[in-house]
Amino acid sequence: MRTYCSFLGLHQCATIIPMLDKTIPGRTINIPPRSEIIKSIKEGGDLIAGVFPIHYPRELLRAFGIHPIEIWGPPRVDPSAGVSHLQPYVCSIVRNALAFQQSSGLDIVDLLLVPHACDSLQGLGSVLLDFIQPQQPIIPFYLPRADGDVAKEYLIAELKTLYIQLKIITGKTPSDDELQDAIVKEERYDEKFSELYIAREELPLSTESFYKLVRSREYVPGEDFVNLSDGVLDQRTDAENSYTGIILSGIVPEPMDLFTAVEDFGGRVVADDLACCGRRRYSAGRSQDPFERMAERLLSGPPDWNRGNSIGQRLDYLVEMIDRKKAKGILFYTVKFCEPELFDTPILRKALQSKGVPSLILEFDINDPLTNQALTRIEAFMEMIA
Ligand code: SF4
């Protein structure tokens, strides 16, 4: 079993992997907290970027010696510090992010990258840039809302703009070779991410622990993510299939005990269409030009409204996933006031229904625990499709 760990050091990592061994019989996993990772990265001399959802070029940040730590909320913070700057109908991910920033939770990061995933995130970027003006540089990042060559051309230009902004902040000018090196590394980490998905039913982990592991890609350095993943992949067992499989679609699975709740009702999430997870299974690029290759990668993910994919493309993708995973239904788990998801979901559900695929929609706020009402609806759904 691999024990090398670049951010905690060999000795400390040797304590993580045995912890993993001990906890596998209970199908759980221990992953170092963000605070420990940030401290270790800072001590190593790299900068930290706080990155908001959803898509961005990790490799470009890494080429400049910047480690991305993603900010999906965070959940369960006091949201009151951010509410005066936002409309009451803004989603809890953006509301919490601003509250966290206003409560000094982001003071540790050296820059903030705000991809334009949706109007709420674009609004957050504007509030930060124009009103709050925090100590760190704020960098917006725009994705094309289209397919094909036009999208690639646009994205290449956007990546070059980001390169210049990072050059100004860091004073570094990574060469094409250094960019390619960073790209190839991230492609390897993404391959490991996909390997976990392919082997998920054979892994000695509960679904909640599986998602803790894949979501550690949001903040754990790539080499350490590979080591953690290999520690689990090395212990594959025979797949067990005495459950009713469902697909989870949405932005982020919070609270994470959602997975355990589904298991308690005899089900299991066997695949996902989550913005923080499955919608970011990028493929390796092919171009020898680093900017083109980064663009190829970002455009290679599964269908997502965020990159302008149609509802029809999303439907085909979900139907194929249902068939391949022999799932019995889809749970649309949607953040309250998440307009882009709420635009697609009714049409998707209707189309799925016409194909005989049952679905359930639940809305949630990332500060809330799973309510009794939500549990009752999940239980009824699982009973209906079993
Ligand atoms: S939950 Fe929806 S509205 Fe909120 S930041 Fe994410 S994509 Fe945007």
From the alpha carbon of 94, which atom of ligand 1 is closest?
5
Q: Whose CA is nearest to atom 2 of ligand 1?
A: 338
pLDDT at 7 over 50: no
From the alpha carbon of 118, which atom of ligand 1 is closest?
8
Q: Whose CA is nearest to atom 3 of ligand 1?
A: 338
117 lines ligand 1 (CB under 6 A): yes
pLDDT, one tens digit per residue, over 56-107 is: 999 999 999 999 999 999 998 998 888 888 988 999 999 999 999 999 999 9
CATH, domain 10-385, list 3.20.20.70, 3.40.50.720, 3.40.50.2300, 3.40.50.11900: 3.40.50.11900
Long-range contacts, 163-167 (Cβ 8 Å, 24+): 163/60, 163/291, 165/137, 165/139, 166/60, 166/61, 166/64, 166/66, 166/139, 167/64
Q: Whose CA is nearest to atom 8 of ligand 1?
A: 118
pLDDT at 212: 96
98 lines ligand 1 (CB under 6 A): no
pLDDT, one tens digit per residue, over 12-24 is: 333 344 334 334 4
From the alpha carbon of 252, which atom of ligand 1 is closest?
1
Q: Which residue has 């109908």 as its token pair?
A: 89
Give the span between the Cα atoms of 303 and 166, in whole angstroms: 29
- Cα 275 to ligand 1 centre (Å): 10
Indicate the DSSP class of residue 104. T
Give the span between the Cα atoms of 263 and 94, in whole angstroms: 30
- Cα 93 to ligand 1 centre (Å): 6
205 lines ligand 1 (CB under 6 A): no
- Cα 118 to ligand 1 centre (Å): 6
State the DSSP H helix or E strand holding residue 248, giving kind and residue range, or none if neither.
strand 244-250
- Cα 90 to ligand 1 centre (Å): 8
Using DSSP's 3-state secondary structure scheme, residue 285 falls into coil
User: Are residues 174 and 182 in contact, defined by beta-carbon separation less than 8 angstroms?
Assistant: yes
Q: 304: which 2 tokens?
A: 């997502």
Q: How confident is the model at residue 1 (pLDDT cuts 50, 70, 90)?
A: very low
Among 341, 343, 345, 364, name the best residue to mutate to test ligand 1's pocket (greatest count of ligand atoms within 8 A of Cβ).
341
pLDDT, one tens digit per residue, over 270-321 is: 999 999 999 999 999 999 999 999 999 999 999 999 999 999 999 999 999 9
From the alpha carbon of 92, which atom of ligand 1 is closest?
4
User: Are residues 71 and 52 in contact, defined by beta-carbon separation less than 8 angstroms?
Assistant: yes
pLDDT at 9 over 70: no
Taking the whole predicted model, whether its pTM rises above 0.95 is answered as: no
Q: How confident is the model at residue 242 (pLDDT cuts 50, 70, 90)?
A: confident
Q: Whose CA is nearest to atom 1 of ligand 1?
A: 338
CA distances from 74 to 4, 100, 284 (A): 29, 8, 29
Sequence spans of domains, the chain: 10-385
Q: How confident is the model at residue 26 (pLDDT cuts 50, 70, 90)?
A: low
User: Are residues 351 and 316 in contact, defined by beta-carbon separation less than 8 angstroms?
Assistant: no
From the alpha carbon of 124, which atom of ligand 1 is closest?
5
Long-range contacts, 126-134 (Cβ 8 Å, 24+): 127/85, 127/86, 127/98, 128/98, 128/101, 131/85, 132/85, 132/101, 132/102, 134/101, 134/106
Among 96, 120, 276, name the best residue to mutate to test ligand 1's pocket (greatest count of ligand atoms within 8 A of Cβ).
120
- Strand partners for 274: 250
Using DSSP's 3-state secondary structure scheme, residue 140 falls into strand
Using DSSP's 3-state secondary structure scheme, residue 361 falls into strand
- Cα 356 to ligand 1 centre (Å): 29
Q: Which residue has 């980064």 as its token pair?
A: 294
366 lines ligand 1 (CB under 6 A): no
pLDDT at 11 over 60: no
